[in-house]
Structure 1
């Protein structure tokens, strides 16, 4: 009997898998199943399965990361991936993971499952391990990651070159070029879910590996958020090294577009770089987003381009003049006006060379405010995760435009209410949950992920009151009800509503109710 372990955060799917086939008839035994990646690691160590069937899109550790852990613990284990994404066949064509199969949940049949398991059993019998000492597989990836960390960390060149030679990478020439490949999230978001990002990045890495096999001196590396390409070369008048490197990167982009239906972004540093200088240049590229206001494919001919500060902090209230215009455009469903405003914002940001981090932050504040006003109370957090990671103005603005178009199409209006009236439920809920606290507009803005000054203007425009007046008014309504039905004294009532001083509570009560708490209680108790 071969031991099988099942992992899926969708518990009903675990039951479906358990009941789909006669496992014992295929000399298979399910020795464990779990919905948690953390529990899966402990269970794997305990039961030592021969075959693991795991969902890719797991929270915490995803399926790829789990497979990495499993194969380090037991190199001969067989892996079968599950995915629920209908467009996953694009990734299937490209991912060269040494796994046995990829099964789409909605299309899974008992015949497909039996066929995949039969393949795993056949490979187990032939003792072909998942990890091999070669150019592909998890061991090679881990070795390469270790090598890249040595390069980036500035380890002595002789030890770095020695380690590279040990894992089969020959860097015999003195000069390097550096490339990075990232994903344009506006193309990724159209076809994939956020949980599949690591898989698609791994797919790009494997395409890069396959192409590099025919390219002397080119070594791809996989990082958490992008791919790094190093090109080791010598100066040769007979060959244009820069053109050679660009040709490789362009073929990589074309393959990604064809197979995965996504658009990568490329940065190529074609100046001659010594091994020990790569780490600093890499950090500047990744952290500074030097290409943000340039085209998708950005070439650095001189490293001074990225060493010199390029961006300016965003002025306070940079988008303030655009927000009312955008709100009116959304109210009117005027898509042309929305696009025009976004184009003007982009032109201004580029002309002022505003720091990408500041720019994305202000755009996010604007989007959250508009989303709060016109849509349901659940924010689309994936969008904001993507925005933080975008590396070009074009990618950023396309995501923002797509979201505003979605808000315009889906905005919900209360029957009988004017179109511009926003919803107060989320704010009211927060106030009710914090009646005993002295909450401020800053607290509320932080809860909503909004800029405090924007929230104050938005709230005044929405209600005609300042947030402080609104909170006091609401608490006094609660106080009047409590004075009618409760026997608690004024001190405890005041503290329960967030007023530590009885005198101040009485003053606020009289301002909003027109009488003192004692007078109000006396009057209503008589009735």
Structure 2
């Protein structure tokens, strides 16, 4: 609905106009009635009306001054002057302010105002439709331009370099490798991509969301920056500079990357880690460096959360992680049997440190973690008579999404906690397999929104029956149980990490931070900030 503001120091006129017009049927909302221009102006800065109907002669601020200010605030506002003054000079001044109509009170028929408001609305509808079409066209043009740029750089990296001069000419259209200029390429990787992408409609939506943010941000960075969405989770950033500038260019690149991290975090709630390449002054050098960055999966696997590191040539690492498997498995099984969550998490931290120090091949690390979880799952199966076949398949699908050691071990620790949780809760609370499976499902998916319907479907049960069944077996509703587990996890994150409340809110699948804080306070008696205090 469009907002309408009425302003007249003649109160009976104000009341009459507000009552005789059926605002809702016109698709309008009366957002304010004021008896002087100053009060109307103060209110307008908050409400920003689309239509203004105002008298001219009023105390504190007259209607013409108000109309002038409203045009500055909202150039598309429709204005009608309503006055007893019929003198030509008032009409002239109103027209100079681009006032759409000039109505005389002593000759006004309310139907005239209704027709005028209808005309105003039709004009606003037309403008809105035009803006939507223009925005849609701009969006299509931007997407086409981004797709062309991405295809250009993929071809440059993946195909043989034959015509270097032609590529140099192409790059100059992006403001890169101009005469005497160099550029530093950087590759950025979205962290926890497997979790992040679930918040967007599709991979493509996430891909273009990052591109749109970068388009807005690039002009504010200290160096000319070109962003290229190389894949769904990887972005290339090219920073142009002239050698010999007074400020250290590497400091400017660092500043730019921190700015990109902060903006992506605030706007999209995603985080990137970066690997910075060496400066390049030719297409040949740029191709070599970009190819090296794209192929640097092993070095990127060992980046810590949010790390900005310099690229180094890959050093082949010898396999050997499985030599530690038996002792690691024994430690985990002992902690599982003892139901000691602190011990099993501490053990996982020790394994992560060992792997980071030794830099085993990333594929071997994934295989090692997967085998460990499957073996522990089988142990849990023996203890609680739970099904393990589907879980093993799910583990395999999930683990391939992790391209960083820290993300992989966050996932591992989450599963280990869930195994302890099932061990603690499954046996005493209920011997029914369905309840144990529901507990396990919740523990494994605390990072997103969990519905009763999806868990019932997972268990091949009718959701209404599952709701009653769960309440009967556990003494609480399924939603109450999910909320309790999420708040327990939130407390762990507040105690054991430096993540902000906003980050923890997103990590637990809450879209609304205010709702998360309210839920936390209901469960814990204090807000998350007070709890961490």
TM-score by length of structure 2 reads 0.48
Structure showing greater radius of gyration is 2
**Structure richer in helix, relative to its length:** 2
